[in-house]
A and B are shown apart, each in its own frame.
Chain A
Amino acid sequence: MRATLRKTIFFIAIILMAAAVPALSLASGAKPKAAPSAHPQLTDQEKLTPCAQCHKDATPDIYQEWYDSVHGIANVKCFQCHGTYENFRVEPNETNCAACHNKQYQKRPKGKKCWDCHPAHNFFVHK
């Protein structure tokens, strides 16, 4: 069962990564108008489940990294970076980082994304 689950998670991850490609191209180029939806389809009722409730099991390593990070302790939740279903982004828009880290965002090295130096989900000060 556990192995099947891991395969499923892997499969979902592949889908997510595939969906992330247009997100990446948007993030580096023109203004995004309609956010790409890369999340598996859910009913409106299912969407009332907090992200972490599923992802604690669906992506346990990522969940644990986040939980142990300063974002986890300070209760910075998944949707604050990734949005919710209608504006979901696998790779967040960096302006979401700037909501709290604008000074650092303005000073970031050219051509670098925030997570190039501050790994996503554990947010060490630098890689």
Chain B
Amino acid sequence: MGLSRREFLKRTAALTAASYVGMNLPISMEGEAQATDADSWHPGTCRLCGSGCRLELGVKDGRAVALRGISKSRTNFGYLCMKGMLFYKLMGDNHPDRLKKPLYRARKDQPFKEISWDEALDIAAREFANAVKKHGNDSVAYYGSGQALTEETYIFQKVMRGGLRTNNVEGNPRLCMASAVGGYITSFGADEPIGSYDNFERASCFFIIGSNTAEAHPVLFRRIMRRKMDHRDTVKVINADPRISPTSRIADLDLVFEPGTDLALLNAMAHVIVNEKLYDQDFINNYSTFRKGKDKKQVSFEEYRKFLEDYTPEKVAQLCRGNMTAEKIRTAARWFATSEGTMSIWTMGINQRIRGVWANNLIHNLHILTGQLCRPGADSFSLTGQPNACGGVREGGGLCHILPAHRLVKKDKLRHQVEKLWGIPEGRIPPKPGYHTVAMFEAVNQGKIKAIWINCTSPAQSLPNCDKYKKGMARDDVFMVVSDIFPTRTTELANLILPTAFIFEKTGVYGCTERRSQLTRKAVNAPGEAKPEVWMVREWALRLSRELNDPVIKKCVEPFMGKEPDYELPRSIWMEYTQKLTKGRDNDLSGATYEVLAKLPDGVQWPAPTEAFALKGGTDIKFVRGIDPLADKHAQNEMPYQFYGPAHPDRKLWIWLRPQKGPAEMPDEEYPFYLSTGRIIDHWHTSSMTGRVMELVRANPYAFVEINPKDAEKLGIKPNDMVEVVSRRGRNVLPAKVYVGPCEGMVFVYWHDMAEDRMINRVTKDAFDPGSKEPEFKICACRIKKVSGPKPLKPFIVEMS
């Protein structure tokens, strides 16, 4: 034998830098309950990512003990990823780090002290009221989350707009899907995808661009994988990305391009489609127009053809570099155009771009040109990153420019509709949109915002160029309330921390990527004194009303008075939102009552204007007569498709002439590499949840910087060496992963890590799309350098001191 255990490990394990010293891990796993122990199972929705997987929580003696998928659900057919299997470990008293009592400090250099809920809500109301009195209504703000329940986002924005008379209502979905919203509205005239997940089982060609679906949406990826494996010869998968990722494992064709050349690639595919006459002339004639410029000028097909002359496959292949060839572009375009059903899928690689809306438009262009829409397997489908970015924030009025049910703030008629439905005086909601996310935190930096409530998100880590915005959040003249379940980089900057109930500890609805709303009812108690947000907001609003001597604030929460917070309160909010606000709108959810949602394994897809229709599951393809009740209701002719979206009065789909646009910051001599960032499968967002589950921590304990082997060789970097990643904004030092991976000239860093040295948003750039205001997280310039060989590292999560 002759081998010690350590020698064995050294030989077999290719030990990481982490393996040289011991450390104590914070989480005991002794006495863990098992799924076999569960004495009841409770249906609900996964708390992580935007897929909307339905699952059941196993409960034993009031304690969460397991999660399992629901086979009848059309979102996931019973499958879960590792995060979905394990997040029960964060519920109730299962995790010692849960925030359990309100915590307060008057100054940010003081330690927190526990206070009562009465004291906490009095303080929050007094500080917001004082800011309004001294500095005006726009000196207060709410910054929410695509992880908040719809009822929560709705009541927050109602109190802010109708009560405090400000549109400073934003949320982290601005950082992830605002460009997709802009793309859908400008191309199709209406927000959100036309089709559904069931196209995964019908598509013959998948065009995946700017999405590592395998890790960011693993359960949806499984469906694509299954489709491909069951039809190896007939189903084609194209994966277009600057980085080879686990998604590439099912790809027939990998299109690797240099960051920021995506718009040219998409135009080159259109060039092939037009020049090889692969387009659907009837579909174009019947349903589309060509548009260009800020004034949305209508142009001819011929002008579009001329515009595309600049985007020959040969020319674009040279621009894209990577592994691109003209023939690959042609192959991709031909597969796309000629398949029986092509489904495009994208996420942040497309959305988080300086011209993210344009990039979205150019994907939609390919679908409109080829008629790859509204039929089985054909869809232009943006995947969303958070469980309720669509349902809560996009639909519920959680961004500064939109009111509930896709109403624009700036439209007087729509604003007055909302005021009337809320029973508050006309003119109460200001006509000017509030600050978008980057502008909001810039206003915090400048001291223009004096009181801000941040709910269920951690901008101190998740904003691009985050150190810049942490300075504002750290100001002592900015009063900051943070409501969350765990300590985060943002609770570190708070004056008041309010402990919230987690999913399954409260009741409410999540609306996932495919326009599907799903109910989760309370199944276990929240730990300590943690409360549902809907209760907090109602009680806070009553106090605000008194502080400001303004009965209209009270009026905003009057319909919800006296309701117990675990079911009746969120139900009454949902009823107001769906029965009053969505009725007659394109996301009509008036048929989707709690009672209806509870009867279905996977909820309801809007539009669902009646209970009878909702009980059938709602609308799986928008705009198609006989399927979408609103297509029948709004039909103006006998055509099978009726594009009734409110933003296109001509009822057409718009093919846009959008030129190539590189990133805001290009590599140069000083900063010669592209930096891109993204998710890994085991962690989610800022890892405040997944970083507290031992299985997930061990699977991916730290952020790494991925470096292409050719670049690593040039710079003398070996696996696990410590590498400095520096931009004009900040610096990280991370262990290296050397593989292909990223294309040459690009490095890629996982963005979940909370450790200061490995928090990559200290390095990223806060340039944003002028249309969607979504930042260009995905590309900036950096330089890299080996600073040492492997070093011992520790996983890191913020704890309350």
Residues of chain A touching chain B, judged by Cβ–Cβ distance below 8 Å, are: 4-5, 7-9, 11-12, 31-35, 40-51, 53-54, 57-58, 70, 73-77, 79-80, 83-87, 93, 95-96, 98-103
A27 CA to B34 CA, complexed, in Å: 12
A49 CA to B16 CA, complexed, in Å: 7
A53 CA to B19 CA, complexed, in Å: 12
Selected from A12, A84, A93, the residue in CB contact (under 8 A) with B698 is A84
A48 CA to B792 CA, complexed, in Å: 11
Interface 9-mer from B77-85, B176-184, B255-263, B556-564 = B77-85
Chain B residues with Cβ below 8 Å from A4 are: 1-3
Selected from B8, B9, B18, B221, the residue in CB contact (under 8 A) with A74 is B221
**Is there an interface contact between A95 and B225, defined as CB atoms closer than 8 Å?**
no
**Is there an interface contact between A49 and B67, defined as CB atoms closer than 8 Å?**
no
Of residues 772 through 801 on chain B, the ones whose CB sits less than 8 Å from some CB of chain A are 792, 795
Q: Does B66 contact A (CB under 8 A)?
A: yes
Selected from A34, A48, A58, the residue in CB contact (under 8 A) with B12 is A58
A85 CA to B222 CA, complexed, in Å: 27
Chain B residues with Cβ below 8 Å from A54 are: 9, 12-13
A32 CA to B35 CA, complexed, in Å: 11
The CB with the most chain B CB atoms within 10 A, among A47, A74, A85, A86, is that of A74
Nearest residue, chain A, Cβ from B680: A75
**Is there an interface contact between B82 and A79, defined as CB atoms closer than 8 Å?**
yes
**Is there an interface contact between A75 and B23, defined as CB atoms closer than 8 Å?**
no
**Is there an interface contact between B12 and A57, defined as CB atoms closer than 8 Å?**
yes
Q: List 30 A-B contacts (CB under 8 A).
A: A8-B12, A35-B32, A42-B9, A45-B20, A47-B25, A47-B698, A48-B701, A50-B698, A50-B700, A53-B14, A58-B13, A73-B249, A74-B214, A74-B225, A75-B214, A75-B221, A76-B82, A79-B82, A79-B698, A79-B699, A80-B82, A80-B85, A84-B695, A85-B698, A86-B30, A87-B29, A95-B66, A98-B35, A99-B66, A99-B68
Knowing A45-B20, A95-B35, say if A74 contacts B698 (CB, 8 Å): no
Selected from B19, B78, B225, the residue in CB contact (under 8 A) with A103 is B78
**Is there an interface contact between A93 and B36, defined as CB atoms closer than 8 Å?**
yes
Chain B residues with Cβ below 8 Å from A87 are: 29, 32
Chain B residues with Cβ below 8 Å from A45 are: 18-23, 792
Chain B residues with Cβ below 8 Å from A80 are: 82, 85, 695
0/1 per residue, B537-548, Cβ < 8 Å to A? 000000000000
Residues of chain B touching chain A, judged by Cβ–Cβ distance below 8 Å, are: 1-3, 5, 8-9, 11-16, 18-25, 29-32, 34-37, 66-69, 71, 78-82, 85, 214-215, 218, 221-222, 225-226, 229, 246, 249-250, 681-682, 694-695, 697-701, 792, 795
CB distance from A51 to the nearest CB of B (A): 8
**Is there an interface contact between A70 and B1, defined as CB atoms closer than 8 Å?**
no
Selected from A7, A43, A86, A103, the residue in CB contact (under 8 A) with B22 is A43
In the A-B complex, the 9 residue pairs with the closest CB atoms: A95-B35, A86-B29, A103-B71, A54-B13, A57-B12, A48-B701, A58-B12, A79-B695, A84-B695
A84 CA to B23 CA, complexed, in Å: 17
A83 CA to B82 CA, complexed, in Å: 11
CB distance from B199 to the nearest CB of A (A): 19
**Is there an interface contact between B24 and A75, defined as CB atoms closer than 8 Å?**
no
A27 CA to B478 CA, complexed, in Å: 57
The CB with the most chain B CB atoms within 10 A, among A11, A33, A75, is that of A75
**Is there an interface contact between A31 and B36, defined as CB atoms closer than 8 Å?**
yes
A sample of 12 more A-B contacts (CB under 8 A), given A45-B18, A45-B21, is A7-B1, A12-B8, A32-B34, A48-B16, A49-B19, A53-B14, A70-B226, A74-B222, A86-B694, A100-B85, A101-B78, A102-B71
**Is there an interface contact between B698 and A100, defined as CB atoms closer than 8 Å?**
no
A102 CA to B79 CA, complexed, in Å: 9
**Is there an interface contact between A74 and B218, defined as CB atoms closer than 8 Å?**
yes
**Is there an interface contact between A75 and B246, defined as CB atoms closer than 8 Å?**
yes
A45 CA to B698 CA, complexed, in Å: 10
Chain B residues with Cβ below 8 Å from A7 are: 1
**Is there an interface contact between B22 and A44, defined as CB atoms closer than 8 Å?**
yes
Knowing A45-B792, A54-B12, A75-B681, say if A99 contacts B36 (CB, 8 Å): no
Q: Which secondary structure characterizes the binding site on chain A?
A: helix
**Is there an interface contact between A75 and B34, defined as CB atoms closer than 8 Å?**
no
Selected from A31, A57, A85, the residue in CB contact (under 8 A) with B13 is A57
Chain A residues with Cβ below 8 Å from B5 are: 40-41
A26 CA to B17 CA, complexed, in Å: 37
Chain B residues with Cβ below 8 Å from A33 are: 31
**Is there an interface contact between B37 and A46, defined as CB atoms closer than 8 Å?**
no
Chain B residues with Cβ below 8 Å from A76 are: 82
**Is there an interface contact between A8 and B3, defined as CB atoms closer than 8 Å?**
yes
A74 CA to B84 CA, complexed, in Å: 14
A34 CA to B29 CA, complexed, in Å: 10
Nearest residue, chain B, Cβ from A40: B5
Knowing A57-B11, A57-B12, A99-B80, say if A84 contacts B29 (CB, 8 Å): yes
Chain B residues with Cβ below 8 Å from A85 are: 698
Chain B residues with Cβ below 8 Å from A93 are: 34-36
A101 CA to B69 CA, complexed, in Å: 8
CB distance from B777 to the nearest CB of A (A): 23
Nearest residue, chain A, Cβ from B24: A44
A57 CA to B11 CA, complexed, in Å: 8
**Is there an interface contact between A49 and B214, defined as CB atoms closer than 8 Å?**
no
**Is there an interface contact between A83 and B695, defined as CB atoms closer than 8 Å?**
yes
A44 CA to B143 CA, complexed, in Å: 38
